[in-house]
Chain A
Amino acid sequence: MAERRGMGALEAEVLGHLWAMGRPASPGDVRDAMGAELAYSTLMTILVRLWKKGLVDRERRGRAFVYRPLVSEAELTASRMRATLDGTGDREAALSQFVGTLNKREERLLRRILGGPGAST
């Protein structure tokens, strides 16, 4: 799986889960978030790589390590702000986005799929 999905994307995913958890997490916590098909050894390799790159910090808790992301939120300079939030098309032209904007009909359809306006997981 690691080969198929690419190491960079897996590293990004591990970082993303750590970031979203908002607390120091054990490899087991991360594995729960990532789904069981990820081999434990692969996950450990990724965590150690991230630690060596200085992207996560780790501390010993009991017999194992817990990890937390060292993501320094890059300061939003003017040009960065524009590139990130600009809706005029530069970002759209250069980058693939997860989702774009919706019209009213699409919004209604998506709400129905999610099971009503207040639907949440």
Chain B
Amino acid sequence: MSSVLVLPAVAAIALGLFGGVVQRQLRPRAAVLILTTLALSVTAAVVAALGLLAIGYLAQVPWIAAYAGWCRSLARAHDAVPTWAGLAALCALVLMAAAVAWRVRRWRRTIAALAHDGPLDVLPTTEPMAFVVPGRPGHIAVSSGLLHLLSAPERRVLFAHEGSHLRHRHHRYVAATDLATVAVPMLRPLRAHLRFATERWADEDAAAAVGDRQLVARAIARAALATTAVSPAVLSLAQHGVAARVEALLDDRPPSHAVEWTLLAFVVALVGGAVSSTVQLHHLLAFAVHVCRL
């Protein structure tokens, strides 16, 4: 019975390993949608498999079965779940729920601290920074340092970029994938890929809005270099792929269709596998309800 975990686990590991390929080979918008879908379906499959083990185990415990009105025939109908597997699955589910709740709480706090009334919040700092604060309707936050650093055309790039994040609600994809990786640590490499893909999406929107890819590349490069100058301490800490974004803007060869279709087939297979293992849980629950009410 523990074998129910194999397929979702393989899917999670495969996605963690090959998520980068999806991101590199697809147009940014497609990459964001597909990576988010994959992350959520694999997470659902893992949760379903763990739930199957946990319920299977709980159904064997006599007093729980009696209390819930379950019948023992259900447990006998399936292979018995070893105690260690059942308990481990229960623990994993509790830990996942706690990690997700903790992450949501931290977001809420950050976003509440940045609340602002109006479409633009000018942050009184010389460090060049700009970001979108999600909400209804949400707003753009830009440091006065960045506003003064950029030329007027570069400011148009900045606002077209941030406006794209705001309009397409990119934070939802980022949040969904983030929660998936918090729940299923094997998916963790996906976070950076998805974040990069949302930035590329906004870059392409900005390029379309100002009609000049070079200008977008220059604006990003200038802002990034100024950021480095202000905070050298974080130089080697993180790679957000700024250089890769700039290179992508300067070299705009469209991805090949053959690769896109192959990837799409891979994605359909993965989602199909994930969904079918989720369906198993659904069947078990339906089975339990029918058999035990007789």
Contact = CB atoms under 8 A, between A and B. Distances in A.
Q: Is the interface of B mostly helix, strand, loop or mixed?
A: helix
Contacts of B240: 97, 99-101
A93 B106 contact: yes
Interface residues of B, number: 86
B243 A121 contact: no
Given A5-B167, A96-B170, A109-B243, A101 B119 contact: no
Contacts of A20: 147-148, 150, 152, 155
A13 B159 contact: yes
Contacts of B170: 96
A94 B217 CA distance: 25
Contact of A102 (B198, B217, B224): B224
A51 to B, nearest CB: 13
A17 interface: yes
A42 interface: no
B156 interface: yes
Q: Chain A contact residues: over half helix, strand or loop, or mixed? A: helix
A95 B225 contact: no
Q: What is the interface residue range for chain A against chain B? A: 35 or more
A95 B132 contact: yes
B122 A19 contact: yes
A6 B234 CA distance: 34
B140 interface: yes
A97 to B, nearest CB: 5
Nearest to B199: A96
Interface string A96-119: 111111111111011101100000
Interface in B46-87: none
Contact of A113 (B134, B198, B218, B235): B218
A9 B119 contact: yes
Interface in A72-101: 73-74, 76-77, 79-80, 82-85, 87, 90-101
Contacts of A39: none
A9 B151 CA distance: 18
Given A12-B120, A98-B161, A33 B155 contact: yes
Given A19-B122, A104-B235, A35 B110 contact: no
Contacts of A87: 231, 234, 237
B147 A79 contact: no
Contacts of A32: 152
A69 B124 CA distance: 15
A16 B142 contact: yes
B133 A95 contact: yes
B131 A114 contact: no
Contacts of A101: 227-228, 231, 234-235, 237-240
B162 A90 contact: no
A106 B242 contact: yes
Contact of A84 (B123, B175, B237): B123
Nearest to A99: B224
A110 to B, nearest CB: 4
Interface string B129-140: 111111001111
B261 interface: no
Nearest to A114: B221
Contact of B131 (A71, A91, A103): A91
Given A13-B156, A101-B235, A102-B235, A121 B198 contact: no
